A and B are shown apart, each in its own frame.
Chain A
Amino acid sequence: MGEQVGQKPKRELPRSRVLVAEQTAKIYRDAFAAKARGEKVGWSTAIFPQEICETLDIPVLYPENNAASISAKHLGGELIEHAEGAMQYPSRICSYARLNMALADKIQDPAYSKADPLMPSPDFLLLANNSCTQLMKWYECLSRDLGIPIFFIDCLFNYYEEKPAKHKITYIRKQIEKYIWDMEAFSGKKFDWDKFLEVQKRSQINSKLFDEIIRLNMRTPAPMSGFDFFNYMSCLVLARGKESTTVIFEQLKKEVEEHIANNTTTFPSEEKYRVHWEGIACWPNLGHNLKTLKNYNVNAVINGYVTAWNVDYEPGDLDSMASAYASSSTNSLSTNTIMNMRADTIENYNCDGMLCHVNRSCKMMTFHIFVGRHIIEERTGVPCANFDGDQSDERIYSEAQFETRLQGLVEIMQHRKEANHG
């Protein structure tokens, strides 16, 4: 079929994006195939030591990542309604939780096919509470409803220190060791410590590669629209220990370096302003966010969310791994630590402002902004603006509100640029 008159031709996806789609599809396909063979399949929180199931070759899918994908396709509304209606969950809990618990209920009917991507029903759950305490209730509900076990790693928060204290590291390391033994017993598979070391090394290669790629956006103008990074996060969530992720990141790095060499960018308009995006993406409203940012020539060159998956540790050192899982999510850190990290990033990426997504679902992430905004303003001198939204619940977002606040932020940034240039 030929191209329709008047329709804007779709931009061809870069090779790296094609590879991401292929990898994601394969991971989901493999999970369904394992389930069909009668093997165990897990669901896991996003920042869990995924290296262990990777070593044991047990398929694991990630509800948070899955909920984001479903929401970005505008398929989450019906599931959220099911959670709030038939399942009687309140609208005030996390929308990822509502969406996922509804999906877990719906997929018990083999004929159900509306959500995309679908996940096979899990046989076990992997839970680390390093990014959110509500995860514990969410997974407890799944465990009860489905009658399946939870493998839980309790991560103490680091409110009073920048790095996890020694006793916390020991506490988490011992839980990781126990989890390995428990998972051996549960799966009936022998844990291969040599393979584990290789998976750890691969995880580190991938984390560091992604970090290098993101840092390329420090350049002005940036070679990438910051929103593009959202498309690659799934590699670190779903497949941090896989070689296929290395192939994707090497391809992506090549593409970004080509943009730098050719002085081109994936940002779809002139980059007049650079901002730090704070908070999780508004997945159902990503299109409106990007279109409005483009119209005001604002590139959200960096955000703290995409860097949350860089779990940085020394392969072979379980203490180091425990420490990394205790502090990778900024939600496990103090406001002071997070806001100083953000201020560093704002300076390093030469940002003119900070645009904060007040995410109705993720109060932990959002409230740091309310109490820590002055740290950003005092340290960096850049203005901050907030807007309301949600990671999955479309009802929270207002297009007019987003545009007014972005425009207000742009007018401040514009005035400051003009004042600085005499």
Chain B
Amino acid sequence: MFTLGIDIGSTACKAVILQDGARVEARAVVPLGTGTSGAGDVLQKVLAVKNRQIEDMERILVTGYGRFTFAGADSQKSELSCHARGVNFLFPSVRTIIDIGGQDIKAMRVNAKGFLENFVMNDKCAAGTGKFLDVMARIINVKVNDLGEIGLKATEEVNISNTCTVFAESEVISKLSAAVRIEDLVAGIHRSVAKRVASLAFRNGIVPEVAMSGGVALNKGVVALLEEEIKRNILVHEDCQLAGALGAAVLAYEELHK
């Protein structure tokens, strides 16, 4: 039996096909967000991995910002619950999840079964989100996916404000004109994200073990500095960006067996 989870985020769409609620059969990511062809593309892409048909899916559960508009969904859940279940699938020992998505930061506490216990999210501000990193990468003229490696080569950190993306953008531009090293600048950007996210995580309470989900978890520079800020190790799975979609597929399976 196959269940399909789709996470239609603000900047990327992710999909996971789960077999019998226990084994990941296929995964796909498309770097296009809600309101684009991303949702349809990721569906085709994940089905093509093992040459499946949509009819093979017993149940489809959709999450993320585009969860209300996907026509083929059997049900939808908030990305909070989906990330909680997805990370629990990957790391059952985790009790605190930090998810940095395209426009949201979430700090979640979960129980042993992966049920959400409490959460806090960022206010209506892009500082510290994936969008913040996108903007910074564009100004520095590097690929956002390369930021992590670049930041790890820093010899010192340039101080960057974490209160506002627009202010930080002009700050980065002024640092660039002062000819600071790109690596040091990137590390400063990562530090500003880490501090912002850490304050949110502290507000919700941090219970070990801690894991990160969402696309920004792939940025090793941010993860390392966030570990410093919260003074704990952070688990990052290679499928961290897929945690929401994976959780959606798990929840779809559970809905069939209720």
Contact = CB atoms under 8 A, between A and B. Distances in A.
Chains A and B form a bound pair: yes
Interface of A: 358, 370, 374, 377, 383-386, 388, 396, 398, 400-401, 404-405, 407-408, 411-412, 415
Nearest to B106: A408
A404 B78 CA distance: 6
B81 A408 contact: yes
Nearest to A412: B116
B120 A408 contact: no
B174 to A, nearest CB: 24
A415 B116 contact: yes
A388 B119 contact: no
A377 B117 CA distance: 11
B121 interface: yes
A375 to B, nearest CB: 13
A358 B77 CA distance: 24
A388 B124 contact: yes
B78 A388 contact: no
Contacts of A415: 115-116
Interface of B: 65, 77-81, 104, 115-121, 123-124, 203, 205
Contacts of A384: 118
Nearest to A358: B123
B116 A408 contact: yes
A126 B193 CA distance: 46
Contacts, number: 43
A377 B203 CA distance: 13
A121 B121 CA distance: 43
B80 A404 contact: yes
B117 A408 contact: no
A404 B116 contact: no
Contacts of B104: 404
12 contacts: A358-B123, A374-B205, A383-B117, A396-B124, A404-B65, A404-B78, A404-B79, A407-B77, A408-B78, A408-B80, A408-B116, A411-B80
B258 to A, nearest CB: 10
B124 A401 contact: yes
A396 B124 CA distance: 7
A411 B81 contact: yes
Contacts of A405: 121
Contacts of B77: 407, 411
Nearest to A374: B205
Contacts of A383: 117-118
Contacts of A412: 115-118
A408 B110 CA distance: 12
A373 to B, nearest CB: 8
Given A358-B123, A374-B205, 11 more contacts: A383-B117, A384-B118, A388-B124, A396-B124, A401-B121, A404-B104, A405-B121, A407-B80, A411-B78, A411-B81, A411-B116
B256 to A, nearest CB: 16
Contacts of B203: 370
Please give me the 4 A-B residue pairs with the lowest Cβ-Cβ distance, nearest first. A408-B80, A407-B78, A411-B81, A408-B78
A401 B79 CA distance: 12
Contacts of B80: 404, 407-408, 411
Nearest to B124: A388
Contacts of A404: 65, 78-80, 104, 121
A317 B116 CA distance: 51
B138 to A, nearest CB: 24
A385 B109 CA distance: 13
Contacts of B118: 377, 383-384, 412
A401 B122 CA distance: 10
A385 B117 CA distance: 11
Contacts of A358: 123
B79 to A, nearest CB: 7
B97 to A, nearest CB: 13
Residue of A374, A386, A408 ringed by the most chain B CB atoms within 10 A:
A408
B145 to A, nearest CB: 26
Nearest to B108: A408
